[in-house]
């Protein structure tokens, strides 16, 4: 068995072949703006594949990322919003709609992670209302899945130093979504910024007032599912590089073997900790996420190198994976944030 076959080998639980087939077929249309990511979420929801255990979600996101990173990224956000509602004790019709893919979820929680890490305070400011609800004002500087009617989960900061996690719909009065800019890749993910001006939410949509406790609880899933889409892209590109490591490209074999070994290491820890997230410490999860991103960057560069001109064609799968990998170092937590936090543990 080759190193690439090991890197792409079976994981537990297995992902049905119809899943990878479906997202492989839609990848080019999604990348070129002709496909709608919501179709993929509804397709998964109709098969009961949204939500579920962390090990199942990690395997699913990883498998889809190897075929269509945009779809895997959208699925990551959807799954995290389902997690947030579960953690907040919410099990209503809207939560059920998320699991079916009928409502799209937006995770605007990156500022919460930065706040808890001591990097910068949450930018959205809340004002308590007499009925226990909250008025929201301020920016969400970047989020994805910003489709009409989507459900957003976001942290809020109060003048007295308090914090909360709330949910609201993009259709709520006072929510202003900026038009999505053109991106190098993942252009179909409806990614942009949001401004909140006097958005009123009821008391029942306040998930918690314990920001630190909430972030501590959801952070393992947040980082492991992000690692999953990095690992899926890395494994797919590394296998492509190995497939074309013949002729003159045989000189690249040591580099390819190094990348494959890195992918094997990342995937081994990823699936072990997805089954038992309590076994990994905070630094372990940060380091794994950082290594997975680096593996994807290295693997896609080598795949493009081995494919030569064929991979340089803008509409090729190889070119798409190279562009997708360029996103990973800036995805929050960014490479800079990951390194900064790890330095504090050191």
- Main-chain phi, psi angles of 101, to 5 degrees: 80, 10
Q: What's the whole-model pTM score?
A: 0.96
Tell me the CATH number for domain 105-211: 2.40.110.10
Q: Where are any strands of DSSP class E within 110-162?
A: 125-128, 134-143, 151-158
pLDDT score at 9: 65
What CA–CA distance (Å, rounded) separates 154 from 166?
Answer: 6
Q: Name the class of domain 3-100.
A: mainly alpha
Domain positions in the chain: 3-100, 105-211, 213-345
pLDDT score at 51: 87
Please tell me the least confidently modeled range out of 2-11, 186-195, 210-219, 306-315. Answer: 2-11
pLDDT score at 13: 73
pLDDT score at 1: 39
pLDDT score at 291: 98
pLDDT band (50, 70, 90) for residue 67: very high
Q: How many CB atoms lie within 10 A of CB 315?
A: 9
Rounded to a whole number of angstroms, the distance between the first and last alpha carbons of the chain is 38
What CA–CA distance (Å, rounded) separates 305 from 158?
Answer: 51
Q: What is the DSSP letter of 249?
A: G
CATH fold label, 213-345 = Butyryl-CoA Dehydrogenase, subunit A; domain 3 (1.20.140)
For 74-98, what is each residue's pLDDT tens digit? Answer: 999 999 999 999 999 999 999 999 9
CA atoms within 13 A on the CB side of 193: 9
For 188-212, what is each residue's pLDDT tens digit? Answer: 999 999 999 999 999 999 999 999 9
For the cut 90, the answer to whether the pLDDT of residue 164 exceeds it is yes
What CA–CA distance (Å, rounded) separates 241 from 255?
Answer: 10
Q: What percent of the chain has pLDDT over 70?
A: 97
Q: What percent of the chain has pLDDT over 90?
A: 95
- The mean pLDDT of the chain is 95
């Amino acid at each position: 068995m080759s190193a690439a076959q090991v890197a792409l080998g079976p994981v537990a639980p297995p992902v049905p072949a119809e899943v990878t087939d479906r997202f492989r077929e839609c990848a080019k249309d999604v990348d070129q703006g002709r496909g709608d990511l919501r179709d993929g979420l509804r397709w998964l929801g109709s098969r009961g594949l949204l939500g579920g255990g962390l090990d199942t979600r990690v395997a699913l996101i990883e498998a889809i990322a190897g075929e269509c990173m945009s779809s895997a990224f959208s699925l990551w956000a959807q799954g995290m919003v389902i997690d947030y509602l579960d953690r907040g004790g919410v099990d209503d019709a809207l939560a059920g709609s998320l699991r079916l893919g009928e409502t799209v979820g937006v995770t605007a929680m990156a500022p919460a992670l930065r706040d808890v890490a001591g990097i910068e305070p949450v930018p959205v400011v809340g004002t308590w209302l007499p009925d226990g609800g909250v008025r929201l004002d301020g920016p969400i500087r970047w989020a994805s899945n910003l489709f009409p009617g989507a459900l957003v989960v976001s942290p809020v900061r109060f003048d007295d130093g308090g914090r909360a996690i709330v949910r609201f719909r993009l259709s709520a009065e006072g929510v202003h979504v900026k038009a999505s800019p053109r991106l190098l890749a993942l252009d179909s993910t409806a990614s942009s910024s949001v401004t909140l001006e006097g958005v009123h939410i009821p008391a029942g949509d306040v998930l918690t007032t314990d920001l630190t406790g909430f972030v501590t609880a959801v952070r393992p899933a947040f980082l492991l599912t992000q690692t999953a889409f990095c690992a899926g892209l890395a494994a797919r590109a590394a296998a492509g590089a190995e497939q074309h490591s013949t002729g003159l490209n045989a000189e690249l074999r040591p580099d390819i073997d190094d990348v494959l070994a890195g992918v094997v290491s990342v995937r081994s820890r990823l699936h072990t900790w997805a089954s038992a997230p309590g076994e990994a410490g905070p630094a372990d999860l940060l380091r794994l996420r950082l290594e997975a991103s680096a593996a994807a960057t290295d693997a896609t560069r080598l795949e493009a190198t081995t494919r030569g001109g064929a991979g340089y064609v803008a509409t090729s799968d190889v070119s798409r994976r190279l562009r997708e990998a360029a996103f990973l170092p800036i995805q929050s937590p960014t490479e800079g944030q990951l390194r900064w936090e790890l330095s504090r543990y050191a």
